[in-house]
Amino acid sequence: MIIAMDGPAGAGKSTVAKRVARELGLTFLDTGAMYRAVTLVVLNRGIHPSDEERCTAVAREIELTFDDSGEIRIDGEAGEPDIRSDTVTLNVSAVSAHAGVRSAIVDEQRAIAERRGGLVAEGRDTTSVVFPGADHKFFLDASAKERARRRELQRPSERPLAEIQADIERRDKLDTTRAHSPLVQVPDAILIDVGSLNADQVVARILAHVRGER
Ligand code: DC
């Protein structure tokens, strides 16, 4: 079974997808972690994020795998926590906008689904491009203000809330307006407004849909 979930930054997709996967005994695939991993290697090698050719070469060359807890490994090395640094977060939209990078990563995502015989994937284009034939599709959304508040609770930082919200809005803009695989809510995805729900409630709703209770 393939379950795909998309939505903007900070909607809580990872937490929810991870738990849905655990409940159903499926693999969890954090597609954003793959774009973050490419971005980390690009930056470490001193490649400019706007250099499509070299970014694509990195995406094709590095080996991305996931360990049993669902955490990414880059050529066998742990990708966490470096893939979550502010520098990676600031540059990941630029790197992930390249068609060549996307095509390399999407091929890999489909190969993982094939090998694992199904999964729960979350990201920006899993319902629209990567797994258009997924058995269940969801779109998790909330206002930028609410998502900034959640980010702050999840990962407390010294930065003012307004700055975190501005970053989220900037990423929303880049993710929804890029030429290749922009973030969209596809017509057959079920919209879940996570603004008024906690993670338990979102997971329960998704499981009810998957189990045909809704
Ligand atoms: O979900 P995240 O914040 O870890 O994702 C990081 C970035 O990766 C996001 O700003 C856009 C990109 N991304 C993407 O282009 N396609 C995906 N399927 C997942 C993430």
Please report, rounded to a whole number, the percentage of residues in the chain having pLDDT higher than 90: 89
Q: Is 205 in the pocket of ligand 1 (CB under 6 A)?
A: no
For 143, phi then psi, to 5°, come to -65, 160
- Structural domain harbouring 21: 2-210
CATH number for the domain spanning 57: value is 3.40.50.300
Q: Are 32 and 57 in contact (CB under 8 A)?
A: no
pLDDT category at 81 given cuts 50, 70, 90 is very high
- Is the confidence at residue 214, as pLDDT, over 80? no
Q: Is 31 in the pocket of ligand 1 (CB under 6 A)?
A: yes
- Is the confidence at residue 157, as pLDDT, over 80? no
- The number of folded domains in the chain is 1
Give the residue from 54, 46, 123, 41 showing the smallest Cα distance to 82.
41
Tell me which residue has tokens 């993670």. Answer: 199
pLDDT at 151: 86
Average per-residue pLDDT for the chain:
95
**Centroid of ligand 1 to alpha carbon of 8 (angstroms):** 9
- Is the confidence at residue 213, as pLDDT, over 90? no
Say what the pTM is.
0.94
Tell me which residue has tokens 């909607």. Answer: 11
